[in-house]
């Protein structure tokens, strides 16, 4: 039995994928954590140095206030900054792919993909994971490339997931995922 999908990707689809991939990146999460900790640590150390040398001064307390504010508000700032960065990336790098027709056909042993520039065939053995979020399916290949499929393009989600399970894709339930 063949499953055929026809859809167009929007900025929001590419953005959702980039935000998801970023949230799962160990390097990016480590970097965000380091910035969240190192900046206030620097200001606390600066405050301690000034306190030990000159005693308490009102201006030095601003360093502590800034450090505490950074700890509290950096997650919100970081969330906004990364989203803005990825939105610019999508607008610059995917502008020619936005709103262009894509056709995907899942057959017994291959996936055929056709977009406005090319046609591709993917062997089903190349599929690594099927990631399901609230609005998308991401088919991750062993080469770490992913296919973005909006859920609205799929009539029967259960049949789609079952077919990819037959291909050997590991199912990852991320229905509760949100960009943090």
pLDDT along the chain (180 residues), means of 10: 91 96 94 92 87 78 88 94 96 93 92 93 94 97 94 94 92 93
User: Which pair of tokens denotes residue 68?
Assistant: 């505490």
Number of domains into which the chain is organized: 2
Angle at the Cα of 164 from the Cα atoms of 130 and 175, rounded to 5 degrees? 35
Q: Are residues 19 and 87 in the same domain?
A: yes
CA neighbor of 63 nearest in space, from 83, 78, 43, 45: 43
Cα separation, 172 vs 70, whole angstroms: 34
Domain's final residue, options 93, 112, 134: 93
pLDDT on residue 44: 87
Cα separation, 126 vs 129, whole angstroms: 10
Q: Are residues 44 and 75 in the same domain?
A: yes
115 phi, psi to nearest 5 deg: -125, -170
- Cα-to-chain-centroid distance, residue 108: 30
Task: Using a cut of 0.75, tell me whether the model's pTM lies above it.
Answer: yes
Provide the domain limits for residue 102: 3-9+98-173
pLDDT on residue 97: 92
Cα separation, 93 vs 97, whole angstroms: 9
Cα separation, 143 vs 102, whole angstroms: 21
Under the phi-then-psi rule, with left for phi > 0, alpha for psi from -120 to 50, and beta for the rest, what region is 25?
beta
User: Which pair of tokens denotes residue 139?
Assistant: 């088919």
Q: Are residues 111 and 151 in the same domain?
A: yes
Q: Are residues 88 and 103 in the same domain?
A: no
pLDDT on residue 63: 85
**Is residue 25 domain-resident?**
yes
């Amino acid at each position: 039995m063949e499953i055929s999908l026809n859809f167009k990707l929007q900025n929001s689809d590419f953005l959702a994928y980039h935000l998801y991939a970023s949230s799962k990146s160990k390097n990016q999460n480590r970097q965000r954590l380091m910035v969240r900790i190192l900046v206030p640590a620097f200001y606390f150390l600066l405050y301690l140095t000034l306190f030990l040398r000159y005693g308490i001064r009102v201006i030095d307390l601003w360093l502590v206030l800034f450090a505490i504010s950074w700890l509290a508000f950096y997650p919100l700032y970081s969330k906004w900054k990364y989203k803005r960065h990825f939105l610019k990336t999508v607008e610059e790098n995917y502008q020619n792919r936005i709103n262009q027709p894509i056709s995907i056909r899942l057959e017994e042993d291959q996936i055929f993909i056709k977009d406005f520039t090319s046609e591709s065939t993917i062997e089903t053995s190349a599929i690594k994971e099927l990631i399901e979020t609230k609005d998308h399916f991401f088919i991750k290949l062993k080469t770490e490339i992913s296919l973005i499929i909006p859920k609205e393009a799929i009539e029967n989600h259960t049949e789609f997931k079952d077919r990819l399970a037959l291909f050997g894709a590991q199912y990852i339930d991320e229905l509760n995922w949100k960009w943090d």
